[in-house]
Structures are given as structure tokens and as C-alpha cells.
Amino acid sequence: MITKMKKLTFLVYHKEYELFLQKIRELGVVHIVEKQLGEMDDDLQQFIQKRVLYKNMLQNMYAWADKQPDETIYAEKSADVLTKEYEELQVRIQDLNQQLPAISKDIAQMEMWGDFDWQSVQRLEKAGLYVRFYTCPEKEFDEVWVKEHNAIIINEQGGVIFFMTVTSQAVELERESLRLPSLSLSELRQKQAKTEEMLSQAKDALKAFCKKNYRTLEKCSIQLEGDIDLLKVKRNSREMAEGVVVLLEGWIPEDNQHEVQTLLDNSSVYYEIRPATREDNAPIKLKNNAFTRMYEVLTKMYGMPDYAEFDPTPLVAPFFSLFFAFCMGDAGYGLALILLGFFLKKKMPESMRGMMNLVITLGVFTSVIGTILGTFFGVNLFDLELPDQLKQFMIVGKIGETTYDKQMLLALIIGVVHICIAMLVKAIGQTVRFGFKESLSAWGWLLLVVGFIATGGLSFFKVISEDVSTWAFIVIGGISAIGIYLLNNIHRNIFVNIGAGVWDTYNMATGLMGDVLSYIRLYALGLAGAMLGGVFNQLAFMVNDAAGPVLGWIFCGVILIFGHTLNIAMSCLSAFVHPLRLTFVEYFKNSGYNGKGEAYKPFATVKNN
């Protein structure tokens, strides 16, 4: 559910404004109203740029520190100093990394000529001889060069000849001489080894720096977040009476009204408090029980509800769990998720334990639904010798003499129920926001769809006679048509309403069928996972029979563990994505949910999580 909000308006004497902001900040429950103030000033822009820089640095430093930074905080070190030292170390590493390819290139070039001493070449040149280095294809090498220019073949590789000339005069051949590195091959290799050692030392220095200073920079980043919040609050203040007083507006949850009023009554501040209305753009704070709270992350992924809307999380929670379990479709995989959740809950930090509770909950749902669907680690439970009392709860096989699968029909029934609930939520929501007269079209469609489904079901199972069902269809259709075609907007011309109703009919007829068929994916994904699990079982025991009693069981265990682990991973991915799509597309579309609300973010002292 959505927490009720109260609108606050403050008038503060300008000399007491800073102290007042500090008190509000320490209280940590006031959401400041942000106004459109045009372009941000230079101070705020610089703060935001620093925040991005610190965030990127912290991510890199955490990785360099092997995710185990020291907990010591050095208060005497500023963020600017840490940033400068970090960048210098990074530049050092980048410079060494750039040197290594150039050295490797020189080594590759000198390997063709061997490890000779450049000082010997220089002595020849001092003696009046000219030494030149050349390369050419084998077929272009001229033997005349050997006689006339003392050409000496040094190496030959891949049809290419590497040779040098020693002449008493500066004579150039028809091809350009090479410029070789100024160091010998052994010197280059020594330089490469030294550079690699320096690079290793630089990386060790950076790792030590990150491990030592991560928490210090993290604290600086947290302080910067607080400075940004404070600056934003000041930007959203408005000076009045020639700057004598400052006007500030905000929101507080209704539960925190008493403590805020106590603070304001003890301050020399004029204030007004009024309840938020549905027309206000009040921030949204969700308030749910322990079970539903785990699924608030899904609602936030799509977008927070508007203050005039309903919180979709209480309905998202059970249906998403059901969809996830249906897609997994295996009781054994559910047990694996439960064990994984409990194991990771002990290893994860406090902030991630709520997510592990969600994993455990989804595992419980998967175990129950997987048992109903009759699958345990790819094994068909219905084929085992289990008590009939247990098998009667399993939904397996075909429907009577038809070729239709019971689980596919169950998926479609779940889809119909889900969409009908969405339409009910839409009708109630429009009634609450705009009044019953403005929501007759939504109620008409709800009556038509639910009424026709209920009447058709009762007629199919012979609960009501054919004549009664016929008259029920006529009455339901007639009443629904009034709301859909005549009263869909009581402020418009009746002929415009009829046209709009016809257009809505086309959209509903095409959309509802596609929406319902989308739920077949629940059956298809569960079936695919069960079949793949069964294939791994068959493969494992085939290998067991072929490899003998000892190796057979070893290979069988490896295949079973690897196969089912892979299947669980793939099933979890699909079981998360596709139920999310059914929620975000089919349900939210038919329930009229927009998700454009603003999340409640109180002005508070930023703390390290």
C-alpha cells in the first residue's frame, strides 16, 4: 500500500536557515519538493561530476583491492589527494603497458638479425666502412650485391632474405635500408624484462593503494552525496520579503508527523501541514508486509505508482511467485533454490539478505507447484509408486479423450484470472480517482468479460440450462454495451461515444486474445525444463550402464550435477524474465497502471550502507 503523505510549507528567517536545514537533515524524514530551476549552477555541476568520478574510482578500487579493502579510514586524506595519487598510478601503468608492445615489436624485428653488438658496427663505421641493413623477397635478391657491396645474408624466413652490406663508400642499393632499433637483442630482452617487472610493481602499488584507501574515498563520496543533497535543497528554496525569509516545501509520511511537528514547534519557524490530495504529485513510499515487501523491487523496476493509483505490489507478489514456479515446474529445483538461498544468506552482506529471502520464497513456491505438476529433478512423479492421495493433487496428462494438455489449460485459466483481476483493478481505480460516472466503460468491459466467462463456464458444466445461459448472455451484453458504447464519456456527444466504443471493441477483441495466449509461455517453459531434466537423467544412466560399476557412477554423478545445474540456471533466467513480462505488459496494461510516480527520498544525512 501507499503511505499517506502530508504537505509541509516552511517560512524560515534567513539567518536561521542553515541551522534549520541541519535539524531537518538530522531528522531525515522530509522529502523536499524539487522545482524546475533551469540549468544547474557551476557548484552543483562540479559536485555531480565529482560524484561520477568517485563512483567510477570506487568500482575500480574495489576490484583492485580483491573485494577486501582495509577498514581503516584516514581522516587526514582528502578526496582530491587520493584522486591525484590514483590517477598517477594509473598513468604509470598505462605508460608501461604502452611501452611493452613497442619493445616486443623491436624484439621481433631484431630476432631476424640475431644478437649482435652495436658497438662492433660503430667501430666499423669509425674505420671508414659503411654498414647498411636490407630485406627483400628471395627472388629479387641480386647476387651482384655480394661481389660489389659485400652483401652478407644474415637470415632467411618465409621467402624473405635479411642481409647487410659493408662498403668503403656510402652506396645505397635500389631499395631503402632499414632502421633497426638502437639496442641489441639481448639488451631489448633485458629492457622487456625490466619493464614487465616495473609494471608488476606498479600494479602491486596500485593494489596496495586501493586496499588501503578505499574506505577513505568511500567516506569522502558519502560526504559529497550529502553536500549535493544540501545544495539541491538550497536551490529549491525561494527567498521572500527581499531575502528576509526563505520559503521551502516538502512532504512527510503521515506516521512521522508528530516528530516533525515537535521539531517545528521548538523552532522559530512558521509552517503549515495539510494532507496530500490525489491531485498532488506527492512522493511515494510503499508500506507492505514482510512477504509483499520482497517484491517491491519489481514494482520499482517498472516505476513507482502515482499517488492517486493503487500499489500493485500486493497483487504482483503472489502472481509473480506463481508464474515463476510454473516456469520452473520442478519440485527438486525448488528445493535447490531454498538451499541456495539459505547458504547465500549467510554469506551475503546485510543489504542483500532481503534478496535471498525472495530466492527462498520462490523456491518454496516452486517446490509446491512442481509437486502439483508432477516433476522432481526431471523425474515424472506420476509414474512412480506414490500414494493415490498424493497423485490426485497432480495436474498431469491430457484432458479426457482430447489431445489438450491439462497444464496448458491451467496456464490459460491463470492468464484469464490474472487479466480479469487487472480489469477489476482498473475499474476500481478509475472509480476512486474520477468517480463512478467517469468509469462506466471500464465497468462495462469488466462485466462483459467476467460475465461471459462465468456464464460460459456454468453452461459448459451444465450448472445452468441453455435457455438461462442465452438470456444471461443477452442481459450481460446489453448492460455492458450501455457503458461501453453510450456512456464511456458522459461529457461527449453520443455518436462520438459510439465511435470510441467501436474502436475500443476492436482493441479489446484483438488485445485480449493475444494477452491470454501469452500465458501459454508458462506451460511451454515448464515443459521445456522438465524435458531437458529428463534428457540429462537418461544420458547419465546410459553412461552408467556403459562405463561399468565404478566409472559409470562417477560419470553419472558428473552428468547429473552438471546437467541439472545448467538446467536450473537457464530455467531461473527464463522464469524471471517471462513472468516479469506478463506482469509489466499483460497485467499493467489491462489494469491501467502507469508507474510514473516519484519515489520518496527524504533529505537526510547520507550513511554508509
Asked if the model's pLDDT at residue 41 lies above 70, the reply is no
Pairing of strands 130-137, 160-167: antiparallel
- Using alpha carbons, select from 140, 167, 168, 171 the residue that is nearest to residue 152: 167
Residue 195, pLDDT score? 93
- Long-range pairs of 147-154 with CB within 8 A, sequence gap ≥ 24: 149/173, 154/112, 154/113, 154/114
Residue 14, pLDDT score? 67
Proportion of the chain in helix, strand, coil states, percent, rounded to 5 = 65, 10, 25
| Backbone dihedral angles phi then psi of residue 131, each to the nearest 5 degrees | -110, 125
Residue 335, pLDDT score? 93
Asked if the model's pLDDT at residue 488 lies above 80, the reply is no
**Mean pLDDT score, 100-107:** 92
**Which residues have a Cβ under 8 Å from the Cβ of 175 and sit 6 or more positions away?**
134, 136
- In order of 200, 258, 476, the CA distances from 451 in angstroms are 75, 48, 7
For the stretch 347-391, pLDDT in tens is 777 767 778 888 999 999 999 999 998 888 888 888 777 787 777
For the stretch 498-536, pLDDT in tens is 888 888 888 777 788 888 888 999 889 988 888 888 888
Asked if the model's pLDDT at residue 36 lies above 60, the reply is no
Asked if the model's pLDDT at residue 608 lies above 70, the reply is no
β-bridge partners, 238: 247
- Grade residue 326 by pLDDT with cuts at 50, 70 and 90: very high
Average pLDDT of the chain to the nearest whole number: 85
Residue 319, pLDDT score? 93
Longest dimension (CA), the chain: 123
- Grade residue 487 by pLDDT with cuts at 50, 70 and 90: confident
- Grade residue 456 by pLDDT with cuts at 50, 70 and 90: confident
Residue 322, pLDDT score? 93
Residue 497, pLDDT score? 80
pTM: 0.73
Lowest mean pLDDT among 38-42, 46-50, 415-419, 566-570: 38-42
Lowest mean pLDDT among 106-120, 130-144, 205-219, 348-362: 348-362
- Using alpha carbons, select from 319, 585, 592 the residue that is nearest to residue 441: 592
SS3 label, residue 160:
strand
β-bridge partners, 284: 599
Q: What percent of the chain has pLDDT over 90?
A: 17
